[in-house]
Amino acid sequence: MSKDTNEKTQQQQQTEKDWYEDLVLRSGLAEHSGVKGCMTIKPYGYAIWENMKAVLDARFKATGHVNAAFPLFIPKSYLSKEASHIEGFAKECAVVTHYRLINDPNGNGVIVDPSAKLTEELIVRPTSETIIWSTYKRWIQSYRDLPLLINQWANVVRWEMRTRLFLRTAEFHWQEGHTAHATANEAITEAQLMLTEYANFMENYMAVPVITGCKTESERFAGAVDTYTCEALMQDGKALQMGTSHFLGQNFAKAFDVKFLSKDGVEEYAWATSWGVSTRLMGALIMVHADEAGLVVPPKLAPTQVVLIPLINKHTKERQADFDSAIEKIKQELNGLNFVYDDDDTKRSGFKFAEYELRGVPVRIAVGLRDIDNGVVEVARRDTREKFSLPMDNLGAAIRELLNDIQNNMFQKAKQYRDSHITTVDTFDEFKEALNTKGGFIYAHWDGTPETEAAIKELTKASTRCIPLNNPQEEGKCVLTGKPSKQRILFAKAY
Amino acid sequence: MSKDTNEKTQQQQQTEKDWYEDLVLRSGLAEHSGVKGCMTIKPYGYAIWENMKAVLDARFKATGHVNAAFPLFIPKSYLSKEASHIEGFAKECAVVTHYRLINDPNGNGVIVDPSAKLTEELIVRPTSETIIWSTYKRWIQSYRDLPLLINQWANVVRWEMRTRLFLRTAEFHWQEGHTAHATANEAITEAQLMLTEYANFMENYMAVPVITGCKTESERFAGAVDTYTCEALMQDGKALQMGTSHFLGQNFAKAFDVKFLSKDGVEEYAWATSWGVSTRLMGALIMVHADEAGLVVPPKLAPTQVVLIPLINKHTKERQADFDSAIEKIKQELNGLNFVYDDDDTKRSGFKFAEYELRGVPVRIAVGLRDIDNGVVEVARRDTREKFSLPMDNLGAAIRELLNDIQNNMFQKAKQYRDSHITTVDTFDEFKEALNTKGGFIYAHWDGTPETEAAIKELTKASTRCIPLNNPQEEGKCVLTGKPSKQRILFAKAY
């Protein structure tokens, strides 16, 4: 790849980042805060995230999990207990060293009290395996205590210098499931079950098609035996890891000495999983569906599914009673949906149309005197931006059908894009060609070594995304080294 | 008060603390973690807290508020901006000074990277007025941006050495509402509205009667013009501040320069409120209702409202089909309630009865062969511990009525206790006498000075709890100084 190409790519990336961040800001989802690396999730963004949480939480509970809350802080020594965990984990953490402020003797506000130094530093949790497994030691004695199926909704901190709203921030919000089991098989089944739950949520609610698979060894979570992942494709041709589920073997049980007495009276180490999705999902939602007019929010997650805008003109007042009763009838029809009636008369209709488009509200209904006389309303669907009339009678049923159709259409459109951006290649030239002209996933043979993986990444910026579940086995040759390979795997440039 | 009396009181307090902490631990609500001052909220405790959150969150939304998420960290300099805020606020905070760990060159796990020192220390939020008002500066320009009605559910940290589960912990979970208004009156109305919402929740859901009122100047939140409070009485005669709502005037708007252009085109500072309740509510729920057998959880907040326990004996198997169909019928009747069918045959019924009593499950239903033949079930209500039979026919309706009755009875019982522990006194001897023999609230004249307030606290350990809303005005003399007073106010020993 020539230097020019490289530079162009960087410039393009900059533009894409600007487009993305600009959209997040303009649509009122989130913004950067006064604290470097930390974002403020604004009410509209938080409302979408709350809808996501509600669906996921219900599914976690339906599959037997309960919520709990573990400490925000982790004693520094805990992090060292599972060697591969701390070795592989990024060490960019927020470290608490003191516990008191005092008035500055020079009168400049407050300073840190140098005498209030902690004997052991505390780390703001970057993930909670260590603090949770130190707790499980007290909770698990017998096979009767298993399985232990716990989730927590929490904020975590991983220090980041180059942040991007929702996709990469120092503080982010997520859920982390941490389960303990009596057998390896049970734990593997749990990790796969939660992967399936994630994939179902992403496809059926977010309308984002995902490929589920296993990470290669070098892309695994630090401390995991196997990492399962849901991978999605953004509209710019880059992949995004949407959520992961880990089979942790007995690594954390051994590190924190969590043993149980089995049915046969034998002392054994417990088997573990952990799994999580974060506010990063918001980034995917935006990048998969947004268009030139702004966000497109899938109906099942939209805080506002329908906006109703009255078209007022100088004649409206003359027939106010007719107008009001028509509006009332429409409101009745929309009862039960998340809908907003926006009759703010300080803003023009055109301005409102653009605002709700920017915020991705799935359906807009506009109604004026002439519509009322014709017994219809004007409907605009956000996904295709088509406009058409619908009869006022039975409007509620028609809108519900329309919302379903939008949900399905958004998924199909994203799936079509994704499917048409998986390229099977046999040579490294084809690999680079597909990556640079088309982007998306590259499905290629690889010799299975971390060295080749690293070399491909170095040469192309594409990383291994996953070995798909039920991946067909076929003899082939590694695109880079020509060494024998038993299966193709997915590569992509990724966030 | 003699030295002996003092010592006895301390010993009693120790016993009460042990009783309380012991109950929290045994009933599986929470426990101390490996991090000093931080608790782990266990699944059963968290399930009750989730129910509280759901009710409160729905009320916040019904009153026009939206949720958002602000950063966990606050730059140190922000805390100094509102002088009375930092002056009055406890300075025991968790301070982040570094952002990276590195491998210990001596091979002992990880150490803090001395080169990764922050240029400005970050404080883990003890409360979020400063970070939020620094944000509101960007969000508020015009009267059209007001009112701004935002809440966040968050974890906060106030370093505490002497902790008590739920009541006082370094990290705790809460919600904090932060609103901005165009006029002082609007902000005061908001602060009072949220106080009323809190009181309604505490009385109608927690079954905890509260007295609403204003804090005296010295008990106000740091930075507030007025602090409204809900005060409840625990069974040990001590008061607990359950939640507060603050009218903050223009203090934070001035500190963070938050101005808006009014309708009349004049630039003005915004008016603020903040209000919060925390996991401390869990402590109140326990201390107001628990009895010698354990927790008593009000039906409206109980994760398990009804437990159904089959009474199996050696004859059950002979008539398994009859038994199963009766159980099925009961389950149908209980459909829609939070109920658990516990047929774990590794535990004896007596053991289960004690377990569910300990956890405060409002209604227990036990059913054996003889009951089935008689068309009845055996019911035990947790609040009064009465047992009686109920016909299997229409059992669902009867249990629903019973749950309502339990909810009401718990409130009435707590109210009776509270009301009988408000003592009106006219002299300081009566004050001390009532406090030491009976405990509870003391309603007494006070000269209105912080000095007298401090002296009374020093002499009796009782602090001013509040000036009740709509407090009757009457001429009188301060119990301590004899100086003129216009009203009685409430004192109590408090958590």
What ipTM was predicted for this assembly?
A: 0.94
A340-A341-A347-A353 Cα dihedral, nearest 10 degrees? 60
Per-residue pLDDT of A158-173, as tens digits, reads 998 788 999 999 999 9
Cis amide leading into A450 (omega within 30): no
A–B CB contacts, 8 A cutoff, strictly below: 188
Contact between B201 and B190 (Cβ < 8 Å): no
Across the interface, of B46, B94, B112, the residue whose CB is closest to A67 is: B46
Q: What is the pLDDT of residue A3?
A: 41
Q: What is the pLDDT of residue A12?
A: 60
Q: Report yes or no: B123 at the A interface, CB cutoff 8 Å.
A: yes
Q: How far apart are CA B262 and CA B141, in angstroms?
A: 9
Residues 6+ apart with CB under 8 A from B6: none
Residue of chain A with shortest Cα separation from B76: A110
Q: Report yes or no: A93 at the B interface, CB cutoff 8 Å.
A: yes
Report which DSSP code applies to A89: S
B43·A73 Cβ contact <8 A: no
Q: Report yes or no: A341 at the B interface, CB cutoff 8 Å.
A: no
Distance from the Cα of B265 to chain A's closest Cα (Å) equals 16
Which chain B residues touch A86 with a CB distance below 8 Å?
A: 109-110
Distance from the Cα of A79 to chain B's closest Cα (Å) equals 8
A122·B47 Cβ contact <8 A: no
Give the strand pairing for A441-445 and A488-492. Answer: antiparallel
Per-residue pLDDT of chain B in tens (495 residues, 90 and over written 9) = 344 444 445 556 566 668 999 999 999 999 999 999 999 999 999 999 999 999 999 999 999 999 999 999 999 999 888 777 777 776 899 999 999 999 888 887 889 999 999 999 999 999 999 999 999 999 999 999 999 999 999 999 999 878 899 999 999 999 999 999 999 999 999 999 999 999 999 999 999 999 999 999 999 998 999 999 999 999 999 999 999 999 999 999 999 999 999 999 999 999 999 999 999 999 999 999 999 999 999 999 999 999 999 999 888 999 999 999 999 999 999 999 999 999 998 899 999 999 999 999 999 999 999 999 999 999 999 999 999 999 999 999 999 999 999 999 999 999 999 999 999 999 999 999 999 999 999 999 999 999 999 999 999 999 999 999 999 999 999 999 999 999 999 999 999
Per-residue pLDDT of A317-362, as tens digits, reads 999 999 999 999 999 999 999 999 999 988 999 999 999 999 999 9
Q: What is the pLDDT of residue B160?
A: 83
Which secondary-structure segment (H or E) carries B422? Answer: strand B422-424
Q: What is the pLDDT of residue A16?
A: 64
Of the candidates A254, A259, A255, the residue with the CA atom closest to the CA atom of residue A138:
A259
Q: What is the pLDDT of residue A160?
A: 82
Q: How far apart are CA A103 and CA A113, in angstroms?
A: 9
Contact between A231 and A493 (Cβ < 8 Å): no
Q: Report yes or no: B388 at the A interface, CB cutoff 8 Å.
A: no
Contact between A182 and A271 (Cβ < 8 Å): yes
Q: How far apart are CA B415 and CA B24, in angstroms?
A: 23
Amino acid in the structure at residue A145: D
Question: Which of A78, A93, A282 is the best residue to mutate to test the B interface, defined by the most B CB atoms within 10 Å of its own CB?
Answer: A93
Residue of chain B with shortest Cα separation from A102: B91
Distance from the Cα of A68 to chain B's closest Cα (Å) equals 5
Across the interface, of A46, A78, A96, the residue whose CB is closest to B124 is: A96
Q: How far apart are CA B315 and CA B93, in angstroms?
A: 63
**Cβ-based neighbour number of residue B108 at 10 Å:** 10
Strand, helix or coil at A355?
A: helix
Of the candidates A128, A110, A136, A205, the residue with the CA atom closest to the CA atom of residue A174:
A128
Q: What is the mean pLDDT of residues A7-30?
A: 79
**Cβ-based neighbour number of residue B202 at 10 Å:** 25
Per-residue pLDDT of A266-296, as tens digits, reads 999 999 999 999 999 999 999 999 999 999 9
Write b or e for each residue in B319-339: b if 16 or more Cβ atoms lie within 10 A of its Cβ, otherwise e: eeeebeebbeebeebbeebbb
